[in-house]
Structure 1
Amino acid sequence: MAVAAAVLTVSALPGGTASASGPSGHGRNVGALPEIKATARPGAAAVDLSPAQRRQFLGRAAKAAADTARALRLGPKEKLVPKDVVKDADGTVHTRYERTYAGLPVIGGDLVVHQRAGGARSVTYASTAALSLPTTSAKVPAATARKSALSTAAAKGTRRAGARTAPRQVVWMTGGRPRLAWETVVTGVQQDGSPSERHVVTDAASGATLDNAEHVESAEGDSLYSGKVTIGSTLQADGSYALIDPAHGGHRTLDSTVDSNGVLFTDDDDVWGDGTAANPQTAAVDAAYGAQTTWDFYRDRFGRNGIADDGRGSYSRVHYEQQQGVPLANANWQDSCFCMSYGDGADGKHPVTSLDIAAHEMTHGVTSATAGLGDFGESPALNEAVSDMMAAAVEFYANNPNDVPDYTMAELDDLHGDGKPIRYMDLPSKAGISSVGYAPLDYWTPQARTDEPHMAAGIGDHFFYLLAEGSGQKTINGVAYDSPTYDGLPVAGIGLTDAAAVMYRALTVYMTSTTDYAAARTATLQSAADLYGAQSDAYEAVANAWAGVNVGARYVDHIAVQPLPTEPVATGQPVSRQITASSSRPGPVTYSAKGLPLGLTISRTTGLISGTPDRAGDFSSVVSIADAAGDVRRIAFTWTALASGGHYFVNPTTTVIPQFGVIESPMVVHGRPGKAPADLKVGVDIEHEFSNAMVIDLIAPDGTVVPVKAWGPWVLTPELHATYTVDASAVQATGTWKLRVTDGTPGFYDLDPGHLLRWSMTF
């Protein structure tokens, strides 16, 4: 699935754009580097807004929403609805908006306006696509969408599925192309006993399912008690005590043993639990302790006043079962009730109430109240990863001797019967194959877009560990870690406190509902630039931690270089290859090269390699990039120039095929007088999830179109390597030919771009 990455229109980032490539020898163990000491910049941290101040800011934003929409050049049918606000110490205000179109909610249309002190404004968009629909009248009736949604939910394992309310009409903008749609919320029970709130989005024109996502955020766990702790309670009028925490927004802890909705825990002597699972109050103690500790962490570190930053407490249900007696094996967060639910484990005897699980679930609530990371592409995985990151940060903040802080999830859990944690942040794949049949990902691959979110969260978990602690072997609180990197190069950490600060600011200020890992890199770099400066070691450490998990370019000698486009070139064929680099130091970078294929040169100022190779062979090439501070980075590689001419002509340059797009790749034919043959051989190499859906034509030098391949058949064909024979005898052979590739995948699919790898003609 293609994800519309958040686009930052803020000041240019020295780190450049994110990519997802790296050397083939990835995953090597690397040595540890000394920790980087990050020095915070004054004015960048968020200030603590009281509930009244927050309401005042949001009220002003609501009154000015129409003017803001006009200033952003939104369409006449678009409106902005303020959702959240963050104010920095330097006066900058970041206001998060949801969007509507003709009165309809826009899913994937959220944005953040960054109003700098002094008047400068910039915007982070979930999607930059133009928002326009030919009609808001649905061809597919609501009843049809509801029936389809119920069927889809049942197929995904939702038991006792039913629509909580009638489908609502929305604009689906996730994926970059707005469509009129129906959103149906299907409720029921998941396979593990968790409540189910599955949001199914149905195309209102075609009836196709556009999205199908579970909104009850869950994490696996087991009983892990925190020893003797102090928790908040309230004296009742009858002299008893209730587990209502007045110091943390009135958080309540409920017993779901009798009623799944929960009954408030009460006690006569205000002494709760006995440290054993047999006592129902023990799990309540852990849940209440987890809620208050997580609240305190967000308050003390970031000035956040509760999950939604409005002073409102959530509630926790322990020993949770569905009304029909289906036990909950793990734990979850639900936006609809603003609450956490904790089950008693797979065997019904191990309450899932550990501190890191509580922090994980409450962070889902924070994410929902801020970035709103959605259900599309990599966003759900990033959502899970952020919860793991903050769960680790809460453990280290609490520093409870009964739950020694570490970089694992539910480390004393025995859910799988092996006594091991369920997730490892230093090397996620150590967890092995999960109960859902997947293994956690250590590094970014295209699989992350479609993998189960808890497994794809391994990428973010690994990034955070590298950012906090760095690569290589080390022992922390008695636990041994050994974290490798994708490119085999070491990464220096900046410490857990600063790593959490970077992530929190990125989450609350720059991420949106469609943020994927590449966009998360951009958001965290901007966050690091705000907090520590764009020329700081901490800024480079963020980029290098992402490079360590195969997201984006790494800084070496303060210079980052995007992967070089060094696939073979061909003699007689014009070349245009862009080298893209940046420096964390002020000023421009300059480019030079030695040993390029003969006939090619590089622009000193732009890094564009151009020309026409005139000799075949392997060339030992070196590209050098220098910044204004005098730093130089050199990259050596072998560049092959293929022979192209005579009877065989080839263009080996890779060209991206955008979804629903059309590309034309040129090839110069020379030394072939007269007409082209009636049996011209056209060789094509394409990679695409549905290569068979590509329509291929040959365009002769005089503009004549010669069909090469028609559409279909419609089956999964990830690669196409074929030679076609066409009759080109009506046109002259000499001149510039073009291969035209048209993406013919149906409009209701959201797929990754394909690639024309190379093509050839044999006369």
Structure 2
Amino acid sequence: MALAAAVLTVSALPAGTASASGPAGSGRTVGALPSLKATPRPGAVNVGLSPSRRRQLLVQAATSAPVTARSLGLGPKEKLVPKDVVQDADGTLHTRYERTYAGLPVIGGDLVVHQGKGAALTVTYASSARLALPTTTAEVPADTARKSALSSAAAKGTRKAGAHGTPRQVVWLAGGRPALAWETVVTGVQQDGSPSERHVVTDAASGATLENAEQVESADGNSLYSGRVTIGSTRQADGTYALIDPDHGGHRTLDSTTTSSGVLFTDDDDVWGDGTAANPQTAAVDAAYGAQTTWNFYRDRFGRDGIADDGRGSYSRVHYEQQQGVPLANANWQDSCFCMSYGDGADGQHPVTSLDIAAHEMTHGVTSATAGLGNVGESPALNEAVSDMMAAAVEFYANNPNDVPDYTMAELDDLHGDGKPIRYMDLPSKAGISAVGYAPLDYWTPQAKRDEPHMAAGIGDHFFYLLAEGSGAKTINGVAYDSPTYDGLPVAGIGLTNAADVMYRALTVYMTSTTDYSGARTATLQAAADLYGAQSDAYEAVANAWAAVNVGTRYVDHIAVEPLPTEPVATGQPVNRRIVASSSRPGAVTYAAKGLPLGLSIDRTTGVISGTPDRAGDFSSVITLSDAAGDTRTIAFTWTALASGGHFFVNPTTYVIPQFGVVESPMVVHGKPGRAPSDLKVSIDLEHEFSNAMVIDLIAPDGTVLHVKTWGPWVLTPELHETYTVDASAVQAVGTWKLRVTDGTPGFYDLDPGQLQRWSMTF
């Protein structure tokens, strides 16, 4: 299933979804282009809200929530609960809401309402599915759900698993359709010694596990000290000093050597650490420095008042792993404690407290407080990628000579014993195979949502590097980069500052809990349109950076076009296919074509190619796209027309099989008077992750339904290529037949839509 992307009604964006064309890793090294200049429009810049003003706006949103819900057409059982608010300099408010249904929290039901002065109210939805349930009475008892959750968490590697409180009843909407469910919070210890907090969602009707997601966000890395720095401390009544930072929300730094809850660091002379790992205070200095630098970055760049934008400081625990008795080579952020935990590396001698790791983990807190990127599909990978992006931005903001800013993560780390960084943003696959057997992805593929999130984050990392710096070979701060693109075409960067501006606005204003990479493209394009204008070079650069990692379409001469629907056609079979193109310039795109299969023509204004081919063969076709500004783009290709008639009829047009839905493909039979045979051969080529769950029927010209394939067996069969024999002797042969495919995969929420690729009948 393609996860519910952000549904934007704010403006018409160029169409485009992630394309699966070409194998992963097929990108080519390309040359560098000069960086583009982009200046944000003043009115679209975020205004930093004081804690009191933010609270006031949230109270106003709560008061008007019933009216807002009615204006959105929500049902009588649905209510909106304000979570966050962002204000632009021109007064536009972006209010983020959680949703409830009959008093139950809705997971995946969040939305953002955009309201400008004098402008129409528009909305970004995490899911556009209608929210309705036949009952809110659970068939599966809470205790049964709790036991199932404990078992599921243990199966995922959580040790010492225990339920934190009783399961709460929720509505699960993240899978694309609503289901009554139980959410159980299971705590324990991960395999590497990190604390574990799993949220397990259990279907309240079937008992099936809908989600089993780790909430403790972690990343590998060893300590990279930042040299001599100034950190905040507070003098206590007894004259000693404590690592409590009064200028950053009272952030505290704790020593967890002997207890997981930690003991506040104190010192007699307010000189902390000695720059060596042997001194326990040194890791505390790095943690405190990372916290204050990340806070300052978000404050100075975006007017954000702390991680949750409420002026509240988090806290950091260092030397965390020792009390677990397991070497810990990572760090993590936990929403439940609003805190960072830093381990001491695999050997217990290298605290994991580098600036980029601190910024990465704290950005997980920012993401949680804003978009709330969830735990299904590609959202976890996007969550990790956003943290990598902002970690790079924090490094460049700090510009510390002891930690020269770059586009790698933990670049001085030697976690793997090879002296290499753990992440490369210009070409993520350079990191090689991870300890768990995964390799970072350079480009999007349909399997990205099933890959380990830190590995699938490579797609977003690569996009961000290309957006900031562009493609090709270059040296930045003494580090050599050479970033390729999926389609082999160059990309011009807009600079790190502008790239971070686009991502932050997309994250805080347009992304939701279900946003995937296609949705991230939509959100960043809207953010670029807000900041720089939809006709700007920066807008096109965002689209082209995504196209360079195989997500969406690329602008060439200001015109973008979706992959052409040019699979073969067949003689005697009506064709109706649409070319979809857009321009970043005002006005509509017009279409022209030469050399189409004989019998076909293109509509100049709609791009629809229609007609009935009357000759088989290969045709050298050319599509020309023109915009109102006079730009043109020409695409040449060979289009094949298959022979269909006599005893063999074929429809080679691809049809998408909607999830849980039905699709019908027509076929015209002519020249066959009388009844169809009792041994009609029906051949079907179909792709679906569970193709055996597809139910297939043949509909005769008079409406008679002839069964072709039943449901099952329930096994993993990603392709179906079969010929079936059907007794069609009771119906006439001549006329329009239809092949109907029904998706019969109830209960599976993380599947891609299938495709009926072609089908044929032999009389």
Aligned to 1:643: 643
User: What residue number does 1:481 align with?
Assistant: 481
The alpha-carbon deviation at position 175 of structure 1 amounts to 1.9
* Equivalence map 1:340-355=2 (5 Å): 340-355=340-355
The equivalent of 1:463 in structure 2 is 463
Match of 1:158 in 2: 158
Residue in structure 2 matched with residue 696 of structure 1 by the alignment: 696
Match of 1:226 in 2: 226
> What is the match of residue 303 of structure 2?
303
325-334 vs 716-725, which moves further: 325-334
Unmatched runs of 5 consecutive residues or more in structure 2: none
CA deviation digits over 1:199-218, x for unaligned, max 9? 00000000000011000000
Shift of 1:397: 0.6
Confirm or deny: 8 A CA contact 1:2 1:449 kept in the other structure.
no
Bigger mean CA deviation after superposition, 154-163 or 671-680: 671-680
What residue is the counterpart of 2:653 in the other structure?
653
The answer for the alignment partner of 1:111 in structure 2 is: 111
**TM-score normalised over the length of structure 1:** 0.99
Classify the secondary structure of the residue corresponding to 2:521: helix
- Quote the Cα distance in structure 2 between the aligned partners of 1:618 and 1:676: 31
Q: CA deviation at 1:223?
A: 1.3
Which residue does 2:623 correspond to in 1?
A: 623
Going from structure 1 to structure 2, the CA distance change for 1:113 and 1:465 (only over 3 Å counts) comes to: same
For the residues of structure 2 that align with 1:535 and 1:434, how far apart are their CA atoms?
41
Q: CA deviation at 1:17?
A: 3.5
1:553–1:748 distance in 2 versus 1, CA, 3 Å: closer
- Tell me how far apart the structure 2 counterparts of residues 376 and 593 of structure 1 sit (CA, whole Å): 42
Which of 654-663 and 106-115 deviates more? 654-663
The answer on 1:398 being equivalent to 2:398 is: yes
CA distance in 2, matches of 1:224, 1:270: 22
What are the residue-to-residue correspondences of 1:419-498 with 2, within 5 Å?
419-498=419-498
**Contact 2:377–2:750 (Cα < 8 Å) also in 1:** no
Distance 1:322 1:731 in 2: 77
- One-letter identity of the residue aligned with 1:600: L
SS in 1 for 2:247: helix
CA distance in 1, matches of 2:287, 2:42: 37
Distance 1:285 1:220 in 2: 19
> Is residue 28–residue 486 contact of structure 1 (8 Å, CA) maintained in 2?
yes
Shift in Å at residue 16 of structure 1? 2.1
Q: TM-score, normalised by structure 2?
A: 0.99
Corresponding residue of 1:18:
17
Superposed, 1:118-517 pairs within 5 Å as 118-321=118-321, 323-517=323-517
In structure 1, the partner of 2:88 is 88
Q: Percent identity?
A: 86
Q: Is the 8 A contact 2:20 2:446 kept in 1?
A: no
Contact 1:195 1:322 in 2 (8 A): no
Match of 1:30 in 2: 30
Residue 23 of structure 1 deviates from its aligned partner by 5.6
| Aligned partner letter, 1:639 | W
State the AA in 1 paired with 2:457: A
* Aligned pairs for 1:27-66 within 5 A: 27-66=27-66
- State how far apart, in whole Å, the 1-side matches of 2:750 and 2:177 are: 9
Query: Are the equivalent residues in 1 in contact too, given 2:248–2:306 (CA < 8 A)?
Result: yes
CA distance in 2, matches of 1:181, 1:22: 37
Distance 1:560 1:707 in 2: 42
CA distance in 1, matches of 2:734, 2:218: 64
**Contact 1:21–1:552 at 8 Å: present in 2 too?**
no
CA distance in 2, matches of 1:679, 1:258: 78
User: What letter is aligned with 2:621?
Assistant: S
Cα offset, 1:239, TM superposition:
0.8
- Residue-by-residue CA offset, 1:340-397 (whole Å, 9 max, x unaligned): 0000011111100000000000000000000000001100000000000000000011
Q: Which amino acid aligns with 2:11?
A: S
Matched residues in 2 for 1:305 and 1:184: separation? 32
Aligned-pair CA distance for 1:672: 1.0
Task: Work out the CA distance in 1 between the residues paired with 2:306 and 2:648.
Answer: 69
Give the deviation of 1:324 after TM superposition: 4.5
**Is 1:260–1:322's contact at 8 Å kept on the other side of the alignment?**
no
CA distance in 1, matches of 2:132, 2:375: 23
Residue-by-residue CA offset, 1:661-684 (whole Å, 9 max, x unaligned): 111111011111122112211110
- The CA deviation string for residues 471-496 of structure 1, in whole angstroms up to 9 with x for no partner, is 01111111111111111100000000
Q: Secondary structure at the match of 1:306?
A: coil
- Report the alpha carbon displacement of residue 328 of structure 1 after superposing the two structures with TM: 2.9
Letter aligned with residue 250 of structure 1: G
Q: Offset at 1:5?
A: 1.3
* 1:701 and 1:736 in contact (8 A); partners too: yes
For residue 667 of structure 1, give the secondary structure of its aligned residue in structure 2: strand
Contact persistence 2:297–2:394 (CA under 8 A): yes
1:645 deviation in Å?
0.6
One-letter code aligned to 2:478: G
Q: Choose 15-24 or 453-462, whichever is displaced more.
A: 15-24
Runs ≥4 in structure 1, deviation > 3 angstroms? Answer: 21-26, 322-327
Cα deviation, 1:675-723, whole Å, max 9, x if unaligned, reads: 2112211110000011111111111111122211111111100001111
Cα contact 1:378–1:515 (8 A) shared by 2: yes
What SS does structure 2 have at the residue aligned with 1:109? strand
Query: Contact (CA 8 Å) 1:23, 1:487: kept in 2 or not?
Result: no
**Mapping for residues 70-81 of structure 1, pairs under 5 Å:** 70-81=70-81
TM-superposed deviation, 1:120? 2.0
Distance (Å, rounded) in 2 between the aligned partners of 1:23 and 1:714: 30
Point out where structure 1 has 5 or more consecutive residues left out of the alignment.
none
Determine if contact 1:652/1:759 at 8 Å carries over to the other structure.
yes
Q: Is contact 2:467–2:542 with CA below 8 Å preserved after alignment?
A: yes
> Separation in 2 of the partners of 1:41 and 1:761?
59
**Contact 1:333 1:341 (8 Å CA) reproduced:** yes
Asked if 2 retains the 8 angstrom alpha-carbon contact of 1:342 and 1:353, the reply is: yes
- In 2, the alpha carbon distance for the partners of 1:671 and 1:392 equals 67
Q: Is contact 2:258-2:322 (8 Å) kept?
A: no
Q: Any idea what SS the aligned residue of 1:475 has? A: strand
Quote the RMSD (CA, aligned, Å): 1.1
Matched AA of 1:206: S
Query: What code does the residue aligned with 1:374 have?
Result: G
The Cα offsets for residues 213-237 of structure 1, whole Å up to 9 and x where unpaired, read as 0000001110111111111111111
Aligned counterpart, 2:68: 68
The one-letter amino acid of 2:569's match is V
Amino acid at match of 1:139: E
- Which residue of structure 2 aligns with residue 719 of structure 1? 719
Contact 2:175–2:749 (CA under 8 A) maintained in structure 1: no
The 1-side partners of 2:6 and 2:378 are apart by: 12
Who is 1:604 aligned against? 604
Tell me if structure 2 keeps the 8 A contact 1:444–1:549.
yes
Name the aligned partner's letter for residue 18 of structure 1.
Answer: T
Aligned AA (1:20): S
* Range moving further from structure 2, 57-66 or 116-125: 116-125
- Distance, in Å, in 2 between the alignment partners of 1:404 and 1:42 is 31
Code of the aligned partner of 2:52: A
